[in-house]
Amino acid sequence: MHGFFAFIAVCVALLAGLLLMEPRASAIEFEQATSGEPIVVRLIHPDRQAAAVLRLFEGCAAPHPAAALAAWKRSTRDPDQLGKPLEAVISFFNPEMVREWSVFHEARFQLGFDPETGSGRWRLTVPGDDGTLAALITALRLSGGSNEAPVGNGTIAVNRLGGPGAAVAVRSGGGVVLASSRAELVRGLPPGISGPSVHLEAVGLKVDSGVPAADPDSGLVFRIEPGRMTLPARGSVATRRAIELARGLGCRTVVGSLGLVDDQVGLELASELDPVRPFASGSAGNLTIDPEWLKWIPAGEAVAVASLAAGRGAAYWDGVFALADRVDRADPARANLAPLRTRINLLASAVGARLEADFWPHLRGVTVAWLANPDKPEQSGRAVVVLQMDEDTAARHLVADVLPRLAALWGRAKIETKPGQPQPPDVLRVAAGVSATTRSLGRPGGRPLDAAAHGRTVLVGWGDQTLEIMFRAAEHPERSVMPLMRAASAGPAPQPLARVGAFWPGRVRLPVKGLDGPTPRVRCLAEGPPIVWTGWNLDGRACDRVRWRNLHGLVRHFLAAIPLDSATAH
């Protein structure tokens, strides 16, 4: 149960805790300025978002999250299962508190990274504080914080909100500014108070991708400029690789919005691409997903699925490997290694596989999926890879020769029984009489890894009877994830999709309290709608959309499945 409320709290934190946005100059007596930070986020009418959360509970066993929490606690007689901080966040979502959320309207958050260490430096501006945040700052200063030397020629008092290294804050003209350090706070003060500054261009309410933002009147909007992210000299490898990935993809600017409208959460992204990069529209060939690629994935067992179209031509694959090499070399310990493509080709040639001739030029798309095991939920599921080739002969050759040779790299499969004679195939037969030749690629992790060719499609499955499950899904495509993706691309002027994905929360056990067992929250999420991702390229931009629909039905289903004290719930 508490896992569900934790989920609600995380959503709340995204809408309220990020408080990221750009203030209007008239709303605070000193205009916040940008110091060239690559990430800016802005909050628009969070009170309307809070009201949208309450509407999810209309007609349910409890009228709002706070009432549901109180009724559950009274019914279970365990008053402190969630912990006070989490319960406090949930309690904010009640009709009396909706108006209070308006304090954070036009709040702005700016985030950058130290060029030496890669550590984050941030500044948060809340221009319309009604005294609530000011009182919180006072409380923090009195409970472990301190007064700092004033800034702005000694005119603005500074409060430290904890011990050494804690955030600092200033209050002025009804507005509040918090920052990760005193230096960052000073960087954001206006001209005439702390020195020259640069006005920050407003982040628009709509994503310029041909699709509207989640809600033009409320939500969270943001702007990310990867080109301003400096590769840290001493940062973590993960941070360095993330920055190199963003740069290598050629994303000049990413603009997005996030919001709850009616009973769905929507995320919109539009990325301006460098036209010389191989992933820009027009330079990679026809990047289009065929929905038929997804008929091999059963919707009833899918935990997560993603499908990507591959570009065509040598320039595209040169760019792919250049990006992979750039990310790999972000680790200073790997900077002097040979190029990644060279290393892969050397390994493949050691077993007689010719990837440059037999694989990359023929690959048109890749679909990967993780399937749950509904019969044995305590066991791990099955892994699936579907490769779309350009010709039947390329698919058959991949299964008959290339994949078995690559499998020999880990010593799990034989390359051939006699010199020049491939290992004899098996025949896979399924209920409807469909048959296909298969190859065993060994038993990594003690479970079978098999491959099969069907037309231009190559199926690779890890786990018991995985190939059989995939063929049965294709026999009944209405039960696969294919209809889901067709519906996601529907619309008045749908664009050809270049990438799609879906995730079913609750179908995977996580080592987190409340998410690691058959709780009502996990069961409801597993049976509920998936989070669906679609993406397309248009006029030099990469446009992506994420939707989680029918949240009202999910809330109603969950509240009907848990014990609630009827006197407290209403």
Distance (Å) of CA 218 to CA 5, 77, 179, 208, 311: 24, 38, 25, 17, 37
Q: What is the DSSP string of 311-335?
A: --SHHHHHHHHHHHHHHHTTSGGGT
Q: Quick check: 367 pLDDT over 90?
A: yes
500 strand-pairing partners: 307, 534
Domain contains 188: no
In a domain, 253, yes or no: no
CA–CA separation, 120 vs 113, rounded Å?
A: 5
Residue 309: inside a domain: yes
Residue 354 reports pLDDT greater than 90: yes
Work out the average pLDDT over 5-30. Answer: 32
pLDDT for 309 equals 92
- Give residue 12's pLDDT: 35
Which residues does residue 436 pair with via DSSP β-bridges, in sequence order? 428
Let me know if residue 475 belongs to a domain: yes
Domain of 325 in residue numbering reads as: 276-503
Q: Considering its fold, how many domains does the chain have in total? A: 1
The H or E element containing residue 10 is: helix 2-12
Whether 537 is covered by a domain: the verdict is no
Residue 29 has pLDDT above 60, yes or no: no
Q: Is residue 395 part of a domain?
A: yes
What pLDDT is attached to residue 83? 60
pLDDT bin (cut points 50, 70, 90) of residue 386 is: very high
- The candidate with the shortest Cα–Cα distance to 260, out of 517, 14, 513, 468, is 14
pLDDT(434) > 60: no
Count of Cβ atoms closer than 10 Å to residue 88 Cβ: 11
Angle between helices 314-328 and 237-248 (to 10 degrees): 160
Specify the long-range contacts of residues 407-412, CB closer than 8 Å, at least 24 apart: 407/441, 407/442, 407/449, 408/351, 409/347, 409/350, 409/351, 410/442, 410/444, 411/442, 412/441, 412/442, 412/443, 412/444, 412/449
Domain membership flag for residue 138: no
Which one of 44-53, 143-152, 213-222, 434-443 scores highest in mean pLDDT?
44-53
pLDDT score at 238: 87
Instruction: Average the pLDDT over 278-299 and give the result.
Output: 74
Q: What are the DSSP E strand ranges found in 344-479?
A: 363-371, 382-389, 416-418, 421-422, 426-429, 435-440, 449-454, 457-462
Give me the residue label for tokens 């409970």: 143
List Cβ neighbours of 468 (8 Å cut-off, separation of 6 or more).
Answer: 428, 430
Q: What is the pLDDT of residue 6?
A: 37
Q: For the purposes of burial, counting CB atoms within 10 Å of the CB of 274, is it exposed (0-12), middle (13-18) or buried (19 or more)? A: middle
Report yes or no on 562 lying in a domain.
no
| Residues in a beta bridge with 421 | 418
pLDDT, averaged across the chain: 77
The string of pLDDT tens digits covering residues 481-536 is: 999 888 877 655 567 888 999 999 878 776 555 555 667 777 888 888 999 999 98
Most confident of 177-186, 361-370, 380-389, 519-528: 361-370
